[in-house]
Structures are given as structure tokens and as C-alpha cells.
Amino acid sequence: MRQSRKRRSSPLLQSDQMAQSQPRRRRDPTQPNLPFDPMPERIDPCLALLKPSPPTGPDWLYEVKWDGYRLAIHIEPDCVRIITRGGHDWTSRFPAIADAATRLGVRSAILDGEAVVLDEHGRSDFVALQKSLGGRGGNKASTEAVLYAFDLMYFDGHDLMGTELSVRRHLLSDLLADHDGAIQLSEDITGEPEDLLANACSMGLEGIIAKHRDRPYRSGRTGDWLKIKCIHSESFMIVGYEQSRVARGGIGSLLLAARRGSGWLFVGSVGTGFKERDAVFLKTTLDKLKTKQPVVPLNGKNLVYAEPTLIAEIEFRGWTYDGNLRHASYKGLREVQDNAAVFDILEKPRD
């Protein structure tokens, strides 16, 4: 679905902060097919490391932190493929983004970005995105989702992963300069980092991302990219629940765990944020995953243990002294195909 007006990538951006670059010179279609770098089938994404405050200095650039699904857009000579973080093909679920990719006028490219649905204030709304896809387990095609692209790993036959971010961003900006469809540039935001974070928080955004300008594209959580959040929101594994005769749906709280090395570490429970129908679904599903032995050491009455299968997105206000989530609230379940990274306790920021 082609959009009639280009959406701004952030409420933080002012008119004089729009990324500017020279129009991209298109490749001559009559040029012979020269041997270039082979196009990767899949690239594990670069992930942002959680930090309590943003870095400062000229080596860093800043963007809005989007709340959606991480996607890689593979543009090939005869097709477009949209690949989730876990390597699943979701091309059919994002037809507007796939159509926009075909109209970029490039023979081959791999874009990294986040598919989001925006609210009336231009903020990404994860719940609205899930709804547009038919909810958990649904199989709808989202016509509302927009991809905010923030990196370019492969372009016109050339592998860019060893190139510094500033060059990749310049090429990406050129590629998207005249595009007004369902793929938009996630633009840089300028200003003092603490001010940018404060503005993001005051506007109800999730936070900001800081990226080192001179680093190559490296898969995994290397520290080249940092995430600084207003309200913490992370993915945790559900390892059971506490039964309740009073709570609607029969669940008093969900038991949560984070990764620690090759195992799990209990990080507390969450008893707010889910409605009765959520609780009914969760109880029915978790009862099918019952196990007598908890995957983390737990003792208590009315506890039902489950195999680590369901991943929940949890909002929380920080960490208690003994390592549990503080003021946790259930936000929803992550799709299996999204391959959401369960929070690794090693990346917990020091307050």
C-alpha cells in the first residue's frame, strides 16, 4: 500500500535535522554483470547492548529506539525476501514493505530495520503491530506496518559489512532519498545525548539507540550499538505460573527467567498487565508444557512449572537489590518466528 505522504521517523526530529545527501547515481542497466561479492543468504543482526545512560562524544550517532519486529530486507534480481531475526521468511506478512522494496531501483541490497505500526503521535506501538498481524499465532498480512531502515549491509553487488557505519548510513540515505513508501530512513537525531533521552522519555518513546560511527557491521551484542531506555522492556522466558482461585483466568502471576550462560536465572514474577482472555490462553498453553522439575530453583505453594517455550515481553522499572524485576508488567508474547532474544543477565546495566 503506497503512502501518499512521507512519514517522519521521529517526533524528536526538527525540520533542520533531516538527513541530507546527494541523489544516488543509478547503476547503468546496460553494464555487464561483473563478478562482485556473493550475496549472503542471511546475516545475524547486530544487537544493541543495554546501558543506563548514553555515551557522549563525536564518535557516536543517535537514533530513536523503535518498538517492533527486527527485519532484514533482501532485494535480489528476481525477488524480495523479508527475513525475521530468527531466519524465518515473513515476506507474505509484510506486503507493503515488500512492494516498497521492489521500487527502490536497486538490483541487489540487504537492508536492516524495524517494522513498526505508528500511533497518531508518530510513536511505534508494539501492541498495534501485533494486532495488525492477527495477534499471537495469527497469520494476517499487515498493511499498516512501515519499515524504518537503519543500516545497509549489502548494496549493488558489494558486501558492506566491513565498512564503517558512517559510509553505510550515507549509502542508505542516498538509496531512500526520494522514497515515500512503506520503507523509510530511521534518521539521525542531533543534540546532547542526555537531552535526546529526556525528550524521548517525555514524548512517550521507548528510548534511544547510540551507534559508533566508525565500526563495521558485526553480528551479536558487541557494544558497537547501545540501547538506552526510558522504561525498560525486555523479553523473558516464562517458566511457570502461580495458581490463583481468585484471579480471573486462574493465574495469579507468571514466573520469569533470564538467560545466564547456557542456563536460566529466576528474575521474579509478573501479575499485572494481562487481561482475563490473556490469562486463559496462558494457563491453557502452559498447562500443556507442564514439568515436575522447574528449570530454575523454585519453592512455593501453588506453583506450576513449565518447559521454557513461551517468551513474554515485560515492562519494568529496574532491578531490586536481589536481582528481581521491579514493578513488572506483562506486555505480550513474542512470536516464535521473531526469535526474540531472551534477556541475558550479563547485559544488566549497573545503576
Asked about 288 being catalytic, the answer comes back as no
Based on the fold, state whether residues 95 and 204 are members of the same structural domain.
Answer: yes
Q: What is the pLDDT of residue 323?
A: 85
The answer to the question of residue 163 being in a domain is yes
Q: What is the pLDDT of residue 338?
A: 62
Q: What is the pLDDT of residue 231?
A: 79
Q: What is the pLDDT of residue 23?
A: 38
pLDDT in tens, 15-68: 333 333 333 445 444 444 555 889 999 999 999 998 989 999 999 999 999 989
Number of independent structural domains in the chain: 2
The answer to the question of residue 23 being in a domain is no
Q: 285 phi and psi, to 5 degrees?
A: -70, -45
Which of 209, 229, 249 represents a domain boundary (last residue)? 229
| C-alpha to C-alpha distances, 264 to 258, 310, 328, nearest whole angstrom | 6, 14, 19
Based on the fold, state whether residues 200 and 281 are members of the same structural domain.
Answer: no
Mean of pLDDT values over 321-337: 83
The answer to the question of residue 316 being in a domain is yes
Asked if residue 221 lies in contact with residue 51, where contact means CB atoms within 8 angstroms, the answer is: no
Based on the fold, state whether residues 57 and 97 are members of the same structural domain.
Answer: yes
Supply the DSSP symbol for 44: P
Element (H, E) at 263: strand 263-270
The better pLDDT of the pair 217, 348 is held by: 217
The answer to the question of residue 284 being in a domain is yes
Based on the fold, state whether residues 150 and 51 are members of the same structural domain.
Answer: yes
User: If 0-12 CB within 10 Å is exposed, 13-18 middle and 19+ buried, where does residue 73 land?
Assistant: buried
Distance of CA 121 to the CA centre of its chain: 20
For 169, the grid coordinates are 548510513
Given a cut of 60, whether residue 228 has pLDDT beyond it is: yes
Based on the fold, state whether residues 240 and 165 are members of the same structural domain.
Answer: no
Asked if residue 146 lies in contact with residue 116, where contact means CB atoms within 8 angstroms, the answer is: yes
Given a cut of 80, whether residue 1 has pLDDT beyond it is: no
The answer to the question of residue 8 being in a domain is no
Q: What is the pLDDT of residue 316?
A: 87
The better pLDDT of the pair 5, 334 is held by: 334
Burial 335-344 (b: 16+ CB within 10 A, else e): beebbbbbbb
Please report, for the domain that includes residue 292, its CATH number. 2.40.50.140
Parent domain of 300: 232-347
Which of 171, 206, 229 represents a domain boundary (last residue)? 229
Mean of pLDDT values over 264-279: 91
Out of 6, 65, 229, 348, the active site residue is 65
Q: Which of 68-77, 165-174, 175-184, 279-288 bottoms out in mean pLDDT, i.e. has the lowest?
A: 175-184
Mean pLDDT of the chain: 86
The answer to the question of residue 1 being in a domain is no
Based on the fold, state whether residues 98 and 199 are members of the same structural domain.
Answer: yes
Q: What is the pLDDT of residue 3?
A: 41
**Planar angle of CA 10, 325, 253, nearest 5 degrees:** 105
For 109, the grid coordinates are 541490497
Based on the fold, state whether residues 281 and 202 are members of the same structural domain.
Answer: no
pLDDT in tens, 139-173: 899 999 999 999 999 999 999 999 999 999 999 99
The answer to the question of residue 299 being in a domain is yes
The answer to the question of residue 12 being in a domain is no
Based on the fold, state whether residues 204 and 292 are members of the same structural domain.
Answer: no
List of residues 6+ apart from 38 with CB closer than 8 A = none
The better pLDDT of the pair 246, 303 is held by: 303
Given a cut of 60, whether residue 278 has pLDDT beyond it is: yes
Please report, for the domain that includes residue 160, its CATH number. 3.30.470.30
Q: What is the pTM of this model?
A: 0.69
Neighbours of 139 (CB within 10 A): 9
Which of 229, 262, 286 represents a domain boundary (last residue)? 229
Q: What is the pLDDT of residue 267?
A: 94
Based on the fold, state whether residues 96 and 201 are members of the same structural domain.
Answer: yes
pLDDT in tens, 72-109: 999 999 999 999 998 999 999 999 999 999 999 899 99
Based on the fold, state whether residues 186 and 206 are members of the same structural domain.
Answer: yes
Based on the fold, state whether residues 47 and 102 are members of the same structural domain.
Answer: yes
Based on the fold, state whether residues 164 and 263 are members of the same structural domain.
Answer: no
